[in-house]
Structure 1
Amino acid sequence: MATAIQRFENAAIAVAILLAMVTFGQPWWLLLAAFLLFDLSAVGYLRGSRAGAASYNAIHNYAGPAITSALYLALLIADHQAVWLSLLAACWAFHVAVDRALGYGLKFDEGFTHTHLGRIGRQPRGAADRGR
């Protein structure tokens, strides 16, 4: 039940970001164009599960977009225009939200399919019987 709620919440965040982009006259298509860029963080899996989980999790959380948004707002208060920072934060948060809405959560060291939202992908036959 908690996983379904988290997935719904993240879907709502993704929709809100899309609506904000449209409302503020920003290029909404940028959300789609930049979507896969954040998945480059999975390249850490070439070094192993631990490095992969660390690099993936460093990008696939809301801290980065929040810090980027705060930096944008601080610059705006100081009368410096840096709209690209707000667009980066929106694309980043949109990516995280869509990933989590689809069930791709933060990774554990046990491999790419073991996430804080549960396992992703097909499970071996009988896995449900063994308690996964």
Structure 2
Amino acid sequence: MKNLLKLEEVAMFGLSIYLFTLTSFSWWWYPALLLFPDIGMIGYAFNTRVGALTYNFLHHKGIAVVILLAGWQFGNDVLSLSGIILFGHASMDRVFGYGLKYPDHFQHTSLGWMKPQSVPNDGN
């Protein structure tokens, strides 16, 4: 099931790329902006509750779709691009196991607990 969910996220990431091709922006805008939503992690400088709030706001696909639809409705290309980038980034993150965050800990996500990075044993 986990692989099926990842495949679904890959498809949504592909959809974001397709939607981007429908815009008038040069191709390099997509990769240049793709990691921008991670600016939401700045909230963790305050505490985990604020960090989860800011991170989740910029990684919630529903918010991304609303922004994209608002851009289409009002003919605002920048708003449309923002929604596409937010949607694509959220899908990419979920492929790598980064879900929405709980306010108690950065590694506690909607996809479960992230595995801690293994630290090589240097023999000491």
Task: State the aligned residue count.
Answer: 119
SS in structure 2 at match of 1:111: coil
User: In the alignment, which residue of structure 2 is the partner of 1:63?
Assistant: 62
* Root-mean-square deviation over aligned CA pairs: 2.2
Q: Match of 1:10, as an amino acid?
A: E
Report what 1:83 is aligned to. 77
Q: Secondary structure at the match of 1:112?
A: coil
How far the C-alpha of 1:70 sits from its partner, in A, is 2.0
Cα distance in structure 1, aligned partners of 2:53 and 2:23: 34
Return the alpha-carbon distance in structure 1 between the equivalents of residues 9 and 28 of structure 2.
Answer: 19
Report if the CA contact (8 A) 2:93-2:99 is conserved: yes
Sequence identity percentage: 28
User: Which residue is 2:28 aligned to?
Assistant: 29
- Separation in 2, partners of 1:35, 1:23: 17
Distance 1:110 1:42 in 2: 14
Task: Give the TM-score taking structure 1 as reference length.
Answer: 0.77
Question: Structure 1: which amino acid aligns with 2:65?
Answer: A
Change (3 A) 1:18 1:52: same
Sort the Cα spacing of 1:123 and 1:91 in 2 relative to 1 into closer, same or farther, 3 A: closer
Relative distance call for 1:4 and 1:75 in structure 2 (3 A) is: same
Structure 1: gaps of 5 or more residues? 77-81, 125-132
Deviation readout 1:73-107 (Å, 9 max, x if unpaired): 2224xxxxx22222111111111110111110001
Deviation string, structure 1 residues 51-86 (Cα, Å, up to 9, x no partner): 11111111111122211122122224xxxxx22222
Q: What letter matches 1:18 in structure 2?
A: I
1:41 — aligned with what?
40
